Amino acid sequence: MLKNLKKFYQFLFTYPKPFIGFLFALLGLSITQNIQPYFYKLFIEAAPSLDKDLLIKLLVVFISVKLANLLFDILTYMIGDLALFPASRDARVAVVKKIQDLDFAYHTEKSTGSLISTIRRGDSAFFSLFHSNIRIIRIIIGFIIALTYFSFTHPAIAVLIFLSITINLFLGKFLIKKNIKTRVDFNKTEDKVTGVIVDNLLNYETVKYFAKEDWEIRRLNRKFVPWMKKLWDYSMSFRYFDIGIGLPANLSFFLILLFAINQTIKGAYSVGDLALIIGFLQNFFGQFFDLLWGSREIAKNFTDLSKYFSILDQKVQVKDPKRAIRLKKVSGEISFDNLSFSYPEGKSEAIKNMDLQVRQGESIAFVGRSGAGKSTIVKLLMRFYDPQKGLIKIDGVDIKKLKKSHLRSFVGIVPQEPILFNNTIAFNIAYGLSRPKLQEIKAAAKMANLSDFIETLPKKYETNVGERGIKLSGGQKQRLAIARMILSDPEIIVFDEATSSLDSESEKLIQDAFWKMSQNKTTIIIAHRLSTVMRADKIVVMEDGKIEEVGSHRSLLRNPKSLYRHFWNLQLKKI
């Protein structure tokens, strides 16, 4: 809890001037609110004298205090928001940045729905906790003022108030702990429900292809069974709170008033003292009990904020070097030296003792069965993972000595399934550059054999592609991905299974675009379709994470025992 509070206030302290101004305004608000009951005593004691001037003066001062209280109330929230609004923005940006910085392995395990729920709840908790702190500080200041005053004037009342608050705080701590536990349990089931909903929304095509709408609703309803149980547990924790706090709180309120009335009857307290005590108890205890009941909300906020800030505690496994090397010019020579790698959850090695040299401007293709290690090579080259043994060098420099962002800036990938932003064609093509001109975007689209299609659209380059590029065909998305890479002009190009699911015409258009733009650049091709790799300078055949054979298309076909020839013959039979 303290760790999360520290993070919470670190974001707020980023804006010290408004935060300090907020504290002063809050102090003024608390003092002007908690001294008001004292005027009840003054009015009652002055009333029997019928001194009009005195009563008017008291009234003017009292109204002035109330107006000051109103002013401080407005200033507290206005100045507080000057710190709260940007601090909440900074917190959300920090969490999203952390998620982006986390390793590829984290993203393969994450639930998008759960993350969305965590961020949404965390941001809401940030605001709620700030406003809850206003209530807490007001009550603490009121408590200090009351104890100080009553300690000098009515020590017995001070002791009774102190004991009452202590007992209620003790009970509140126990009940809040119970409330937090049920909230954590409920959040877990809520995240699973959200996960199913988000999963359904992201994969709605598959749902419709297989007519699984009813099945998906049944799947969602099954998740709501434990959700309903945990929600009831969470709800009942509030009822226990009502009983566990409500009864002792009202009993303590009654006992203090009873004691004050008896003292007044005995003549120990004046009628003005009794009015002051009643006014204070009504004012302070009303806030205090409200805080105890509201502490359930504070507990919820702490729970939500804890999970929100826990994202910031996630460790990055593939780290940038402390003293990074920056390559001024990249020629594109790559070497894989005695490379071995196993995935964190894998039982066997995905890459085994791999040695390979890729010359500047050379096109090299990796082929093999699924799971042979082809795509793993790309992940290691991009430093999504680090190998357990061996090195990958670019232009003779270990890629671990480069910043990940610098490394990836000169490696361009056309993936098997390009995921596009829900934005325009121009935005998606231009994504690799900060401020490209429309002429450059059009030139890249033309090289990617995409411009003719774009020109047929009513909005042309301002056409929205839909979520994940759903409005485009597979071939169009691939060509857009090629155009995006052409515009970013990388020194090393990776073509990862980018034609495996396309028709022959789309494949030819993409191959033409690819070979056109990859001239004089170091090129890595991952492919199942061997027609894609025929023009490569070197073909590397992978088997069980090892290099089985290396050669050109022709040289490998000439070898009757070649694994590549075996794959080639299998694909010929399918045609």
Cross-strand bridge partners of residue 354: 339
Please determine, for residue 85, whether its predicted confidence score (pLDDT) is greater than 90.
yes
Q: How far is CA 289 from the centre of its chain?
A: 35
Q: What's the confidence (pLDDT) of residue 413? A: 85
**341 burial level (CB within 10 Å; 0-12, 13-18, 19+):** buried
Q: Which CATH number fits domain 334-574: 3.30.200.20, 3.40.630.30, 3.40.50.300, 3.30.930.10?
A: 3.40.50.300
Q: What is the DSSP string of 153-219?
A: H-HHHHHHHHHHHHHHHHHHHHHHHHHHHHHHHHHHHHHHHHHHHHHHHHTHHHHHHTT-HHHHHHH
**CA-to-CA distance for 524 and 366, rounded, in angstroms?**
8
CATH topology of domain 2-313: ABC transporter transmembrane region fold (1.20.1560)
Q: What's the confidence (pLDDT) of residue 83? A: 92
Mean of the per-residue pLDDT values of the chain: 83
Which positions ≥6 away from 142 have C-beta within 8 Å?
A: 30, 33, 34, 283, 284, 287
Which positions ≥6 away from 470 have C-beta within 8 Å?
A: 205
Map tokens 């108890």 to a residue.
Answer: 281
- Sheet architecture: strand order including 397-398: 351-358, 334-341, 389-394, 397-398
Q: Where are the domains of the chain?
A: 2-313, 334-574
Band of pLDDT at residue 391, cut at 50, 70 and 90: very high
Cα dihedral 93/96/101/107 (nearest 10): 180
pTM for this predicted structure: 0.72
pLDDT digits (tens, 9 = 90+) for 25-50: 999 998 888 888 888 888 887 877 77
Which positions ≥6 away from 331 have C-beta within 8 Å?
A: 360, 395, 491, 522
Cα–Cα distances (Å) from 280 to 59, 149, 296, in that order, read: 18, 11, 25
Please determine, for residue 567, whether its predicted confidence score (pLDDT) is greater than 70.
yes
510, 482 contact by CB (below 8 A): yes
Q: Where are the alpha helices (DSSP H) in 533-562?
A: 553-558
Q: Averaged over 463-482, what is the pLDDT? A: 83
Q: What's the confidence (pLDDT) of residue 502? A: 58
Cα–Cα distances (Å) from 54 to 38, 61, 276, in that order, read: 16, 11, 19
Q: Averaged over 350-377, what is the pLDDT? A: 88
Please determine, for residue 69, whether its predicted confidence score (pLDDT) is greater than 80.
yes
**CA-to-CA distance for 94 and 104, rounded, in angstroms?**
18
334-574 and 2-313 share a CATH fold: no
Q: What's the confidence (pLDDT) of residue 573? A: 64
Please determine, for residue 51, whether its predicted confidence score (pLDDT) is greater than 60.
yes
Q: What's the confidence (pLDDT) of residue 148? A: 82
Q: What's the confidence (pLDDT) of residue 210? A: 67
**CA-to-CA distance for 543 and 369, rounded, in angstroms?**
7
Band of pLDDT at residue 243, cut at 50, 70 and 90: confident
283, 138 contact by CB (below 8 A): no
Tokens read off for 495: 């073509």
pLDDT digits (tens, 9 = 90+) for 477-531: 888 888 888 888 888 988 887 665 556 666 677 677 777 777 788 989 887 777 7
**CA-to-CA distance for 520 and 311, rounded, in angstroms?**
43
